[in-house]
Each structure stands twice: as structure tokens, then as C-alpha cells.
């Protein structure tokens, strides 16, 4: 799979959430990409942290996160560490590879959508 495939999955999940769960705020956390050393240092200084999930979701006063992966891709050590920390502090976190995975996460978190009302 090409690197762009993960971006396509992520974009389709964002579109799905905005369509079926308009009461949620979903946004991307732009941690990836090539940066100059200067820009990378500035981003780190201002709070960018390796391993933070790709998407944040806020619904009913709760924060949840989705880490988007393609195919059989695995979590990096930094991603696994951040996900564990987020879970420790009570955030909902899921690793997703499709809209169906995102749908299952929403159901598990009890987030209402136009598709299903928990």
C-alpha cells in the first residue's frame, strides 16, 4: 500500500464522522510530515509530541482519539506509549483501519450517531 493510502482512510473517517455525528468535533493532529530542523524544533518546543494519535474527537465533554493505520501496519513505540497514557487518564482511544473500525469505536464509547443511538 502506498503512504497516501493511510491519508485516504483518515479522510474517509473524518468525512463519515462529520456526516453521521454532527455533534462531535473531529480534527486532525498534524504530527507527521517532513519538516526542516528549525521547524521541527519549533513544533517540539510548542508542544508537538511523537506518537500522538492522528485524530481527536470531542463529544459530550469527553476526548477520544483515533490512530489510523493501513493494512497490517503496527504502532510505533511512541504511539503505543502515548495510547497507554491516554487510556490511563480516561480518554477513549482506538486503532482503526477503516470506517467500520471507527464505527465500532464510536459504539464502544457510546457516541451517538445518525446510524445508531446507543
* Mean pLDDT of each 10-residue bin along the chain, 118 residues long: 81 97 94 83 88 96 96 95 97 97 96 76
**Which CATH code fits 4-109?**
3.40.1350.10
Phi, psi of 36 (to 5 degrees): -70, 160
**Closest to 58 in 3D by CA, of 13, 103, 90, 27:** 27
C-alpha cell at 48: 508537538
DSSP class per residue in 20-80? H-TTSEEEE----S---HHHHHHHHHTT--TT--SEEEEETTEEEEEEE--TT----HHHH
Query: Domain segments of the chain: what residues?
Result: 4-109
What pLDDT is attached to residue 32?
73
State how far the Cα of 80 lies from the Cα of 16, in Å rounded to an integer.
25
State how far the Cα of 84 lies from the Cα of 5, in Å rounded to an integer.
26
**Closest to 54 in 3D by CA, of 116, 6, 104:** 6
C-alpha cell at 102: 471507527
What pLDDT is attached to residue 1?
45
What pLDDT is attached to residue 43?
86
Amino acid at each position: 500500500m502506498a503512504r497516501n493510502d493511510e491519508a485516504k482512510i483518515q479522510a474517509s473517517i473524518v468525512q463519515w464522522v462529520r456526516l453521521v455525528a454532527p455533534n462531535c468535533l473531529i480534527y486532525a493532529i498534524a504530527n507527521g510530515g517532513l519538516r526542516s530542523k528549525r521547524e521541527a524544533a519549533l513544533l517540539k518546543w510548542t508542544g508537538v509530541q511523537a506518537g500522538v494519535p492522528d485524530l481527536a474527537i470531542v463529544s459530550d465533554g469527553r476526548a477520544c482519539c483515533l490512530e489510523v493505520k493501513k493494512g497490517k501496519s503496527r504502532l510505533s513505540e511512541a504511539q503505543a506509549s502515548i495510547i497507554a497514557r491516554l487510556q490511563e487518564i480516561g480518554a477513549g482511544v482506538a486503532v482503526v483501519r477503516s470506517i467500520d473500525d471507527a464505527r465500532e469505536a464510536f459504539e464502544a464509547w457510546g457516541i451517538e450517531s445518525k446510524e445508531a443511538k446507543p
